[in-house]
Structure 1
Amino acid sequence: MVTGAYYPELSGAGLQCRSLAGRLPPDASVRILTTATDRSLPSDGAVDGVPVHRVFVDPADPSSLAAAAWQFVFFWLRRRGEIDLVHLHGFSRKTMLIILLARLSGKSVVLKLTSVGHDDPVTALRWGLLARWCYGQVDLLVGVSPRFAALAAAADVPPARFRVIPNGVALERFRPGDAPERLALRRLLGLPIDEPLVLFVGFFSRDKQPDLLFEAWLQAARGGASAGTLLFIGATDSPYFEVDSRIAAEVRAKAAAAGLASRVRFIERAEDIERYYRCADVFVLPSVREGLPNALLEAMASGAACVASRLPGVTDDLIRDGFDGLLVPPGDHDALARALMTLLSDESLRRRLGDQARRTVAERFALERTAETYRSLYRSLVPDPEFGSKTAVQAAFDTRADDWSGQYESVGTFRGYCLDARRRDVLELLDGGLRGGTVLDAGCGTGEFIGPLLERGLRVRAMDASPAMVAKTRQRFALADGSALRVTDGDIENLNDEDGALDGIVCAGVLEYLDDDERALRQMARTLKPGGVAILTVPNVYSPFVWVDRAALAVVRLAGGALEALGLFGRLFGRSRTPATLRHRASAPGRFDRRLAEHGFRVEDYRFGWFGSFALQGLVPGSVCLSKAWERFRTSRTLGGLGMCYAVRARRDDSAPRTSRPER
């Protein structure tokens, strides 16, 4: 998680970040990256058991900002291997840098928008082309209130890339107190015990308008209401760019001139803020701009009667006027003064509104609900640790089911040629090692191997993790339910076949997409008979063409949208981003052979193929001719080793101990 300030330094986004980090379940490992201005804090430490790395910065010093940028890069280079997903709390120039680093590394990014008028989609896109590009690279935008949804629609953000997830409140911490507890707390905190307490929580900025509150409170006091004490909690003077120290000075001067200085109090910082909420009779939020104010949520959860500016899609979604609080027009100190007089003069109304406010927050804004929503969101963007990228791969191949078979027939294209060449290599290797029996076609796609396998008199069990591919295969072969052919959903990591049930396995273009290919190799070793053969293909990590395509993938992550807009994406990768642009693993042929030996296989024969780049197929004429010419070297470990695809025939060694069936 990345935020602009983190405890003990305070900000609304940082407080929500801390609350969320503390409530996520143990299977979500969290690390905080934050900027800080207090150099007495440790650069590396922990808060609530969560690791925190601080990058110190002086916002007024350009050299400090440049140094901070390099520290962000250095942190990323050290930690990127430990990161699956980046959750940004707020949008700023530093988050643009993090988005760039995340996309270069292939990490998912969630951007939580925190403040209308600052980082909402309409406002942020006015920052320029870089901000617009960064918005386009984020996997999901999260707004904290319906107002963000309206602004996202106005900025043409696709609905699939936006969600509303409100801030959450720790209900056990922010709770109402009974009369004896409130009295004891007031005495402990040095607050008046026999008059109303009006509370404001937030830093002193022009947008939050604490000065407007003072004017309204002063008007209420002059109007005859028992105005009690006005308590301001928040920074009156700070390096933070929104804080204006002149506001507090003006309020102090006016309170002194009115003879009310003793009844207007200021607290710069309160670690135990929940105790002040519990003491308050009235809480006021006079802001003209908010995202979803934590202070208002906390005050409502604490049972205070609340008055807030009516901010469309923000406070009017949280408070129903007259039911669980009062709403007034923003900037209208007369309306705010009347609302204060109403509440200060009617204790039963304060109690009714406060009780209902607590119920509203408990029903809609419990922190546990917010944390669970984010947990589900993270899981949808990060592959399940047991199955790696299975969901993403399944979805990618589902989208290609309709035209997958046609690609094998398009031998005039580089992709079509490669797919057909791999099929020829696989069948050639199979013919040299298997005569009869039952063969598993693992990752069967739309059945490109099934026909040739049946023609060879083999019994075939075809299986694919993509339901769309399986459906196409069933439509294609009338014998799908017959004795010679069986087509099922499934994956090579979780085979249901008995030990030694198979004579052969064909697994082409599958292992590179699995997060745990070791598990797949164990399953193949278990289900093959001694002497059975497996025909396997993997990308060759030593091929220069593999690295050209990996570089192209990085370009796609950064500028895929721009390539499509310019009409270049189709020339580079064909009609769709998938599966050509899926991340996948490449293997060293020698290392792959040794891994097979560790599972009881003996490599008998091999082929290299695909002498060209998918990324350059539309830009380099003659890719197919070049690859065909190079086929004479496909059994050479030197010249052939330049090929992208490594195909092997590996026999289950009779003398090797059989791998035990893993528990599931």
Structure 2
Amino acid sequence: MIRVLHLPDSIEKRNGRMSVVMSIYRKLDRSKIQFDFACTDYGFENFEDEIKELGGNVYKIPSNENSFKNIKSMVNDLLRTGRYSFLHYHALSKWGCTLGMANKYHVKTIVHSHATELSDTLFKSIRNRIFSLNIFNNGDKLVAVSPEAGKKLFIFKKYTYIPNMINYKKYAFNKNNRLNIREKYGIEENDVLIGNVGRLSIQKNQEYAIKCLKHIKQSNFKLMFVGDADNNQQIKKIKDLVLSLGLDSKVIFTGMVTDVERYYSAFDIFWLPSLYEGMPTVGIEAQANGLYVLVSEAVSKNLDITGNVRFLEIKEDNIENWANLTESLVKTVKSHDVSAITKIENSEFNSKKVIEQWKKLYEV
């Protein structure tokens, strides 16, 4: 059996990287390939129970103890057991300091780029670039979720493009889900609901979405944020903006939910004004549901699988264009695209194709 030690930094359910890895893990023949995870425990809801049910192990370091010394010690102890064939590194973080250890134990390293920017601040970007320097000497295989993500991290090095995969049928439009979710949150039949799914964070740029909502002229538009915040300060900042613009009756915060697939059916259109992304799984999920997606130009053009994606600039002077295009699409698009699932099945995001690429990565 091939055993892989993954270094995703976090195994949180709200983490896009982990959603991708878990989608693959569930579909692999686990009698041939097994995953273990070494990670930082940040205290949020995570996939640990499911990983163990699937036959994997989770090794955690508390967030207040994740020093370079402790990380190196843990990974060294794991690699020296001889159980692992591959060390698979996903997030630019302190965990990258362990890549150089793999060769000592005859373990191959895989470096996976998931984002088109190194971070959302200059300081963190510089720090993460430093964290990434050793991948050029210690990465046996380089992988990216999109061409943009590959070029950003690997620069001049050759890499393999493997698109993200989701269980897209799980996100298909469901009329009962639409009625139930809208009733739960008091969304009237004639209300137009704009959806946004993901962490409330600087990267996801929810403040821009709120400003765009303010510019929508029709009174029956509402905006729903599905997800929790990186910290209390971030959620307060976003909610303060809602209040200052007088939108408190039009913006809904659901917090973290465990049945996010049901929420897409309640939406009429999907917004993704992120400052950067690699290949956002929520954008694929929204398309699988048949929704039109308005997305930042910072996101990979490969996201448009169904022909229902529109890319827009996220500059302050383009806010009105987001509002106008949203109103225009809602007028012309009368229902969810029922052919969306078929379009995804016929694309490079097809589950079987992506699984075969991952198996090839592990030389199975």
Superposition TM-score tier, normalisation by shorter sequence: 0.7 to 0.9
Equivalent runs, 1:495-534 vs 2, <5 Å: none
Question: What per-residue deviation string (whole Å, max 9, x for no partner) do you get for residues 531-573 of structure 1?
Answer: xxxxxxxxxxxxxxxxxxxxxxxxxxxxxxxxxxxxxxxxxxx
Q: 2:201 aligns with which of 199, 205, 220?
A: 205
1:20 and 1:371 in contact (8 A); partners too:
yes
Structure ranking higher on relative contact order (CA contacts 8 Å, 6+ apart): 2
Whether 2:169 is the aligned partner of 1:192: answer: no
Equivalent runs, 1:469-484 vs 2, <5 Å: none
> SS state of the match for residue 368, structure 1?
helix
Q: 1:319 aligns with which of 304, 308, 314?
A: 304
Partners of 2:156 and 2:105 in 1: CA distance: 27
Partner of 1:127: 129
Whether 2:266 is the aligned partner of 1:270: answer: no
Q: 1:333 aligns with which of 308, 315, 319?
A: 319
Partner of 2:122: none
Measure how far apart 1:378 and its partner are: 1.3
Partners of 2:68 and 2:228 in 1: CA distance: 23
Distance 1:253 1:91, change over 3 A: closer
> SS state of the match for residue 31, structure 1?
strand
1:142 and 1:163 in contact (8 A); partners too:
yes
Partners of 2:126 and 2:203 in 1: CA distance: 18
Q: 1:51 aligns with which of 45, 56, 66?
A: 56
2:305 and 2:344 in contact (8 A); partners too:
no
2:118 and 2:129 in contact (8 A); partners too:
no
Whether 2:16 is the aligned partner of 1:12: answer: yes
Measure how far apart 1:226 and its partner are: 2.9
Partners of 2:267 and 2:92 in 1: CA distance: 33
Q: 1:374 aligns with which of 351, 358, 361?
A: 358
> SS state of the match for residue 83, structure 1?
coil
Question: What per-residue deviation string (whole Å, max 9, x for no partner) do you get for residues 133-162 of structure 1?
Answer: 332221111111121344467x321x3xx1
Whether 2:330 is the aligned partner of 1:344: answer: yes
2:177 and 2:263 in contact (8 A); partners too:
no
Whether 2:19 is the aligned partner of 1:33: answer: no
Give the unaligned 5+ runs of structure 2.
Answer: 1-5, 120-124
Partners of 1:36 and 1:373 in 2: CA distance: 30
Measure how far apart 1:30 and its partner are: 2.2
Equivalent runs, 1:60-71 vs 2, <5 Å: 61=64, 66-71=69-74
> SS state of the match for residue 51, structure 1?
coil
Partners of 1:45 and 1:65 in 2: CA distance: 28
Distance 1:40 1:216, change over 3 A: closer
Measure how far apart 1:306 and its partner are: 1.0
Measure how far apart 1:320 and its partner are: 7.6
Distance 1:63 1:173, change over 3 A: closer
Distance 1:12 1:297, change over 3 A: same
> SS state of the match for residue 199, structure 1?
strand
Measure how far apart 1:344 and its partner are: 3.2
Partner of 1:116: 116
The residue type paired with residue 248 of structure 1 is I
Partners of 1:16 and 1:42 in 2: CA distance: 12
Partners of 1:126 and 1:115 in 2: CA distance: 12
Measure how far apart 1:367 and its partner are: 3.2
The residue type paired with residue 345 of structure 2 is A
Partners of 2:358 and 2:41 in 1: CA distance: 26
Partners of 1:127 and 1:87 in 2: CA distance: 18
Measure how far apart 1:318 and its partner are: 2.0
Partner of 1:24: 28
Mean alpha-carbon deviation: is it higher for 21-30 or for 296-305?
21-30
Distance 1:53 1:149, change over 3 A: closer
Question: What per-residue deviation string (whole Å, max 9, x for no partner) do you get for residues 392-431 of structure 1?
Answer: xxxxxxxxxxxxxxxxxxxxxxxxxxxxxxxxxxxxxxxx
2:117 and 2:276 in contact (8 A); partners too:
yes
Measure how far apart 1:64 and its partner are: 5.3
2:293 and 2:309 in contact (8 A); partners too:
yes
RMSD, aligned CA: 3.0
Q: 2:212 aligns with which of 205, 212, 216?
A: 216
Q: 2:226 aligns with which of 216, 229, 233?
A: 233
Equivalent runs, 1:259-658 vs 2, <5 Å: 259-311=246-298, 314-319=299-304, 323-331=307-315, 332-348=318-334, 351=336, 354-355=337-338, 357-364=340-347, 365-379=349-363
Give the unaligned 5+ runs of structure 1.
Answer: 239-244, 385-664
Question: What per-residue deviation string (whole Å, max 9, x for no partner) do you get for residues 13-62 of structure 1?
Answer: 1111111111112321222222212299898984442323131332xx46
Partner of 2:166: 169
Partners of 1:40 and 1:164 in 2: CA distance: 30
- After TM superposition, the score normalised by the length of structure 2 is 0.84
- What fraction of aligned residue pairs are identical, expressed as a percent? 18
Whether 2:83 is the aligned partner of 1:82: answer: yes
Partners of 1:196 and 1:84 in 2: CA distance: 51
The residue type paired with residue 226 of structure 1 is N
> SS state of the match for residue 341, structure 1?
helix
Partner of 1:142: 143
Measure how far apart 1:174 and its partner are: 1.6
The residue type paired with residue 170 of structure 2 is R
Structure of larger gyration radius: 1
The residue type paired with residue 256 of structure 2 is R
> SS state of the match for residue 35, structure 2?
coil
1:171 and 1:366 in contact (8 A); partners too:
no
> SS state of the match for residue 274, structure 2?
coil
Partner of 1:535: none
2:143 and 2:162 in contact (8 A); partners too:
yes
Partner of 1:91: 92
2:182 and 2:266 in contact (8 A); partners too:
yes
- After TM superposition, the score normalised by the length of structure 1 is 0.48
Distance 1:44 1:102, change over 3 A: farther
> SS state of the match for residue 345, structure 1?
helix
Measure how far apart 1:4 and its partner are: 1.6
> SS state of the match for residue 56, structure 2?
strand
Partner of 1:461: none
Partner of 1:156: 156
Distance 1:2 1:133, change over 3 A: closer
Partners of 2:71 and 2:11 in 1: CA distance: 16
The residue type paired with residue 97 of structure 2 is M
Partners of 2:186 and 2:356 in 1: CA distance: 38
Partner of 1:453: none
Partners of 2:151 and 2:33 in 1: CA distance: 31
Measure how far apart 1:225 and its partner are: 5.3
